[in-house]
Amino acid sequence: MFPLNHTHDPKTRSWLDSANGHPDFPLQNLPLAVCRRSGSHEVFRGSVAIGDHVLDLAALARQGLLHGAVQQACEAAAQSSLNDFMAQGRATWQALRHGLFDLLQAPSSAVAQEAVRACLISRNQVEYTLPARVGDYTDFYTSIHHARSVGRIARPNDPLTANFQWLPIAYHGRASSLVVSGTAFHRPMGQALPAGVNTPVQGASARLDYELELGAFIGPGNGHGTSIPLDQAEEHLFGLCLLNDWSARDIQFWEMTPLGPFLGKNFCTSISPWIVSMEALAPFRLPFERPAHEPQPLPYLAGAINRAQGALDIQLEVHLETAQQRAQGQIGARLSHTSFRHQYWTFAQMVTQHTMGGCNLQSGDLLGSGTISGPAPEEAGAIIELTQGGRQPLSLPNGEQRTFLQDGDVVSLRGWCDKPGAARIGFGECTGQVLPARTAL
């Protein structure tokens, strides 16, 4: 795992004023995205968030300010997707982060500042695309609190499956329907079995849900037929983003007997544009701990490094804005707040489990953490938990109620890390709006 170094020093300030004290994108973060000026026909290219701006890496690479490994790293990250940069590994990632940190920190020469300012674009003037070509997307199921809560709805007397505490469970998702934050989608059609009837019906999902997750992008992959040991798994993790695994619960529960999710999950998955590097997250590491009375991981999923620093304290929130709130100029409501530290399995364990049978991960592949829910009811990461399967409607501040999502609803995920002695860093937002279903088949 990345050790703490000068790029984590909370006392270091940037000559770019908007970066100092920024809640998401201070000098100590420097996350990557792929964007261009809004409404333009420019080529999408890799950029870094700094304060209220993005630093255009393609423009920076032409300035002659960088040299050697830093220049090469900048050129790799400036492409229209980050796959090649991800594949080059830790030395390249660190060269770019440290080179940009040195360039943006104060004090700096007037000549260097002028050259860098020429490469800055206001963040409210850019549009994003997916940061990588995602060849494969795997979604895990790693929150024991979510598993128990949802399990009680379907199996009140036996909510937790026998395998959950022994391995990180996952299913293969649909990479083609991954979208960047801000993309609206239509309510999915499918087949479901309503309560109290014996014959399924086909139509628009009536039980549409969100899932609060984190996504992990794979850096260097592994060869077909090989596996990644747990103590090496972090070397294959490039960085994290916010992820919303939209779920049609009525369609999902009917089709999941006996196989995994299909139409209930494959219509849309949203991710935030900014990828926060594993190095930026280093100050927020925590020990991975499993209660002594619960099953301990098998040896291949247990190791000293993972025990010492495998967990991450990432604060996460879900906000809901309804069509009525927008029409009346009201702000949306916060539905829940939790932390990734409660997750039952770490991303390193997910990587090792994914590859132990010889599956070859590739640069740009995406792993979803599964719904992130904490131990308290208000820490639930999905509306199915908050409403107990739709039995207890949520009351919003404007008097509206929700059991599941309605057309026009906008769900926003937010994430950040903050603790004494470290600079707060954030992930920005991951938003998506529910549009009415298209006409039935």
Q: Tell me the per-residue pLDDT of 43-95, one tens digit each, with 9 for 90 and over.
A: 999 999 999 999 999 999 999 999 999 999 999 999 999 999 999 999 999 99
Same structural domain, 188 and 102: no
Residue 158: pLDDT over 90: no
Number of H helices, E strands in the chain: 12, 26
Which pLDDT band, with edges at 50, 70 and 90, does 257 fall under? confident
Same structural domain, 171 and 271: yes
Angle at 367 between CA 366 and CA 368, to 5 degrees: 120
User: What is the arithmetic mean of pLDDT over 300-318?
Assistant: 97
Which pLDDT band, with edges at 50, 70 and 90, does 439 fall under? confident
Is 432 within 8 Å of 411 (Cβ atoms)?
yes
Same structural domain, 14 and 95: yes
Instruction: Render pLDDT for 197-216 as a digit per residue (tens, 0 to 9).
Output: 999 999 999 999 999 999 99
Same structural domain, 89 and 42: yes
Same structural domain, 103 and 142: no
Is 136 within 8 Å of 175 (Cβ atoms)?
yes
Residue 440: pLDDT over 80: no
* Final residue belonging to a domain, choices 129, 152, 171: 129
Give the ranges where 203-248 is alpha helix by DSSP (H). Answer: 230-233
Same structural domain, 221 and 363: yes
What pLDDT sits at residue 385?
Answer: 97
* Final residue belonging to a domain, choices 69, 103, 129: 129
Instruction: Render pLDDT for 105-122 as a digit per residue (tens, 0 to 9).
Output: 999 999 999 999 999 999
Is 277 within 8 Å of 97 (Cβ atoms)?
yes
Whose structure tokens read 């006392």?
11
- Residue 198 is encoded by which pair of tokens? 């014996």
Integer Cα distance of 341 and 322 in angstroms:
30
Residue 154: pLDDT over 80: no
- The sign one gets for the Cα dihedral 3, 218, 12, 306 is negative
Q: Is 226 exposed, middle or buried (0-12, 13-18, 19+ CB in 10 A)?
A: exposed
In a domain, 441, yes or no: no
What pLDDT sits at residue 187?
Answer: 98
Is 224 within 8 Å of 362 (Cβ atoms)?
no
- Residue 359 is encoded by which pair of tokens? 């599956």
CATH of the domain at 187: 3.90.850.10
In a domain, 345, yes or no: yes
What pLDDT sits at residue 84?
Answer: 98
User: What is the arithmetic mean of pLDDT over 378-383?
Assistant: 98
Residue 186 backbone phi and psi in degrees, to 5: -90, 140
Same structural domain, 182 and 115: no
* Final residue belonging to a domain, choices 110, 129, 148: 129
Integer Cα distance of 221 and 239 in angstroms:
14
Give the ranges where 21-143 is alpha helix by DSSP (H). Answer: 57-61, 68-77, 83-87, 90-104, 110-117
E strand or H helix at 163 = none
In a domain, 109, yes or no: yes
Same structural domain, 48 and 117: yes
Same structural domain, 90 and 195: no
Same structural domain, 147 and 110: no
* In the chain, % of residues over pLDDT 70: 100
Same structural domain, 245 and 321: yes
Q: Before 107, cis peptide (omega within 30)?
A: yes
- The sign one gets for the Cα dihedral 272, 278, 282, 284 is positive
In a domain, 164, yes or no: yes
Catalytic residues: 146
What pLDDT sits at residue 441?
Answer: 62
Q: Please count the residues of the chain.
A: 441
Give how far Cα 154 sits from Cα of 149, 157, 163, 389, Å.
9, 9, 17, 9
Domain count, the chain: 2
CATH of the domain at 61: 2.30.30.230
User: What is the arithmetic mean of pLDDT over 160-177?
Assistant: 97
Boundaries of domain holding 314: 137-435
**Sequence letter at residue 17:** D
Same structural domain, 365 and 399: yes
**Average pLDDT over the chain, rounded to whole?**
97
Residue 398: pLDDT over 70: yes
In a domain, 237, yes or no: yes
What pLDDT sits at residue 119?
Answer: 98
